[in-house]
């Protein structure tokens, strides 16, 4: 009865271990991971795509709205490079950040609580930021997580982000 399965927050090693199981009946169709300019997860994304597994990016805007967020947490909406690209294409910073994920063949799933922002989120395919946008996106490499996986620390396969 299962048509598709998926995983989330596996690293390359864990994904490969799963795919290598001789009794695996259904290969994951999708892998949902935290991905944004501060945590692009290029290697994991490329690995999944090479295995025919689509990638979905949670927190693609690099903005934390979690209850444990601190005022000093990084907010990519305020980044001058992202703002410059958005201004150049007459788009919002959110639209630019989502469009950059789409260019990587990653499906962004941003959180939105207002109808206006939800509507804006759909207007990301009517422009294509130039090469500098992708270079900016991949140059951040600050490797910071927004989603706290601290509740998972007792799992034998933690930490998820190490290969």
CA distance 11 to 159: 9
Distances (CA, A) of 154 to 10, 35, 146, 149, 151: 15, 23, 19, 10, 7
pLDDT at 110 over 70: yes
What CATH number does residue 22 fall under?
Answer: 3.20.20.100
42-100 residue pLDDT tens: 999 999 999 999 999 988 887 766 555 666 666 777 778 888 888 888 888 888 888 88
Higher pLDDT among residues 144 and 126, named by residue: 126
Total of domains in the chain: 1
Tell whether 117 is covered by a domain. Answer: yes
- Domain holding 110, by residue range, is 5-152
Task: Give 131: exposed, middle or buried? Use CB within 10 Å, 0-12, 13-18, 19+.
Answer: exposed
In a domain, 163, yes or no: no
What's the pLDDT band for 118 if we cut at 50, 70, 90? Answer: confident
158 occurs within a structural domain: no
Which carries the bigger pLDDT value, residue 137 or residue 41?
Answer: 41
């Amino acid at each position: 009865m299962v048509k598709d399965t998926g995983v989330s927050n596996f690293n390359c090693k864990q994904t490969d271990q799963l795919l290598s199981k001789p009794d695996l009946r259904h290969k994951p169709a999708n892998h949902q991971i935290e991905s944004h300019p501060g945590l692009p997860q290029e290697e994991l994304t490329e690995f999944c795509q090479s295995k025919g597994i689509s990638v979905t990016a949670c927190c693609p805007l690099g903005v934390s709205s979690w209850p444990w967020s601190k005022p000093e947490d990084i907010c990519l909406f305020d980044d001058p490079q992202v703002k410059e690209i958005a201004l150049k294409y007459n788009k919002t910073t959110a639209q630019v950040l989502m469009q950059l994920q789409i260019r990587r063949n990653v499906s962004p799933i941003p959180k939105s609580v207002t109808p206006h922002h939800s509507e804006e989120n759909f207007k990301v395919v009517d422009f294509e930021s130039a090469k500098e946008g992708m270079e900016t996106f991949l140059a951040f490499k600050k490797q910071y997580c927004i989603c706290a996986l601290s509740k998972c620390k007792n799992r034998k396969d933690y930490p998820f982000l190490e290969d």
